[in-house]
Structure 1
Amino acid sequence: MLASTEEFIAAMRRFATGVAIVTTTYEEQVRGFTVNAFAGVSADPPTVLICVNRIATTHPLIAASQRFCVNILSVEQRELAQRFAGGEPRARFEGVTYHAGPSGSPVLAGTVAYFDCAVTEELTASTHTIFLGSVLEAGWREGAPLGYFNRAYRDFGLER
């Protein structure tokens, strides 16, 4: 017997994570959304994974472009995390400073780290697709990352 959906969600709320915005572009459409389902897979070769709900508006663009960028947010970017967590997908980038990484995906200004990727594999897992990505370029700066715990954004007090 499997755990109930409610039990699973309640237990997952106890897992503290960082917060990222995954971005992509395809045929002049720019999209992004807030995630906490991101992980490093390997350092050699550099590989990460993201889990994307198949009903997310960004999903078909990642699948078509085979490119994405994971932007790790700083504590100063809480408002950006909230904006990219909902609302009109086309309006999320209004007033947001970014540049295109090697994949063409947006690299957001002010993040503490980013991983610009080319998709190497897609796996179906229930309602989601797990995209594995080879890291084409990675960057970072000093700063405190934004956290997420028990349905709220947090400042974990991590400066280095």
Structure 2
Amino acid sequence: MKHVRLLSVIGKTFGISEQGLVNGWVKRCCRCLSSGSSKSNFQRDSHTTENYKKIMRKVPQSVVVVTAGEFDILKDRWIKRGMTCTSFTNVSYQPPIVSICINNPSHMHELLLRTQQFAIHVLKQNQVGYGLDFSKHIETEECQFKNIPHALTNEGIPIIYDCAAVMECRAHSVHTVGDHHVWYGSVFNAEISESEDNPLLYYIRSFRSVGDEIFIQAFEDATLPFEDWTHEAHLRMAWNYITEYGKEGAIPHIRLGIQNFNEQNKDKVKFGFHETITMFYIAEVAHAIKKSPGVPSFEEFLERNRYLLDKTVIAQYYSHNHLYSDTARHQFVQPDLKQLPS
């Protein structure tokens, strides 16, 4: 009764009927409940998304290169394209059908729409370089196969030599799902390498591109071919760690990583780990990152900072005797010619 009298008083005060007040409160309560439910769903969806990403980072992915080609009549030449792909799955054994996922949009997707055929190459553990080469962004006219041993099939599909396995496919169907195109391919020819090399696998662990994930894992596992451990590879490694951990956080990863890689390749290493040279390039790469923030790829970073490829840059800061002293090899020493960039 008290609640009824209260409604009556409020209604008379504001000129609203008791039923109107009740209906208004019901609507308000429903909105509150709905709002709370939406927030709960959002939190649950966000939680699921983050956990999904974490789970997928624990699942090893096989690294494949997808290739396709077509003849350009107007330019009288073959257009050949390849892309590194980690979303590769067996769908059916009978008949043999596989699936690959391609970013939306992409040049490869447009090419497959025209050709309706492609090849899937399962890379060997020592073919990290191929994974890197075909993960780079390229312009439409650029040829990706200049330094890649390959041949064209009668159907015009580029086949890379000496992979762990190759499957030639005809398009079965394609679907757009989220931010990817899912292509299903009917396998009409499959070849396996006679060698016993392990396939290249990787884990999706961070923000990195597919190519950099493959590279960093091969570096950390010391499975990166020693001939690929070039000056540019040193810069790529430093860029990845500094971008992920910051300069100070990257130092132990870089130092221990190089030492481990050298130990695993001690029969090939001639010079060995040098603390001052390592710290110099950490400082240089960190400074270059600071000058060009937000660069999405190592290739673009390097394009903006080509001077880093010049191995004589360090001579502007250190005299030969100072740099190659025993002290400089085992502990960091400040330059004697020019101050390091901050």
**Aligning the two structures, in what range does the TM-score lie when normalised by the shorter sequence?**
0.7 to 0.9
State the match for 2:184 in structure 1: 132
State the match for 2:87 in structure 1: 37
Aligned-residue RMSD, C-alpha? 2.2
With over 3 angstroms needed to count, the CA separation of the structure-2 counterparts of 1:4 and 1:60, relative to structure 1, is farther
* TM-score for the superposition, normalised by structure 1: 0.86
Q: CA deviation at 1:10?
A: 3.9
State whether residues 80 and 144 of structure 2, in contact with CA within 8 Å, keep that contact through their aligned partners in structure 1: no
SS in 2 for 1:76: coil
State the match for 1:19 in structure 2: 63
State whether residues 81 and 143 of structure 2, in contact with CA within 8 Å, keep that contact through their aligned partners in structure 1: no
State whether residues 62 and 86 of structure 2, in contact with CA within 8 Å, keep that contact through their aligned partners in structure 1: yes
State the match for 1:51 in structure 2: 101
CA distance in 1, matches of 2:158, 2:94: 24
With over 3 angstroms needed to count, the CA separation of the structure-2 counterparts of 1:101 and 1:40, relative to structure 1, is farther
Q: CA deviation at 1:104?
A: 2.3
Q: Work out which of the residue numbers 139, 163, 169 in structure 2 matches 1:111.
A: 163
Deviations 1:47-90 (A, max 9, x none): 11111112222110011111111100001110110111113252
Unaligned stretches of 5+ in structure 1? none
CA distance in 1, matches of 2:165, 2:69: 19
Amino acid at match of 2:150: Y
SS in 2 for 1:124: strand
- Residue correspondence of structure 1 range 57-72 to structure 2 within 5 A: 57-72=107-122
Amino acid at match of 2:185: G
Q: CA deviation at 1:5?
A: 9.5
Unaligned stretches of 5+ in structure 2? 1-40, 72-77, 207-212, 222-342
SS in 2 for 1:62: helix
Instruction: Name the structure with the higher strand share.
Output: 1
* More divergent stretch after superposition (133-142 vs 5-14): 5-14
* More divergent stretch after superposition (100-109 vs 11-20): 100-109
* More divergent stretch after superposition (100-109 vs 6-15): 6-15
Q: Work out which of the residue numbers 201, 205, 215 in structure 2 matches 1:147.
A: 201
SS in 1 for 2:126: helix
CA distance in 1, matches of 2:128, 2:59: 19
Q: CA deviation at 1:3?
A: 3.6
With over 3 angstroms needed to count, the CA separation of the structure-2 counterparts of 1:92 and 1:44, relative to structure 1, is same
SS in 1 for 2:127: helix
State whether residues 101 and 116 of structure 1, in contact with CA within 8 Å, keep that contact through their aligned partners in structure 2: no
Q: CA deviation at 1:23?
A: 0.4
With over 3 angstroms needed to count, the CA separation of the structure-2 counterparts of 1:3 and 1:144, relative to structure 1, is same
SS in 1 for 2:201: strand
Higher Cα Rg, which structure:
2
Q: How many residues are paired up?
A: 156
* TM-score for the superposition, normalised by structure 2: 0.42
State the match for 1:80 in structure 2: 130
Instruction: Name the structure with the higher helix share.
Output: 2
| Percent identity of paired positions between Structure 1 and Structure 2 | 26
Deviations 1:6-64 (A, max 9, x none): 72444422221110000001232110110100111112111111111122221100111
Structure with more relative contact order (C-alpha pairs < 8 Å, separation 6 or more): 1
CA distance in 2, matches of 1:80, 1:56: 19
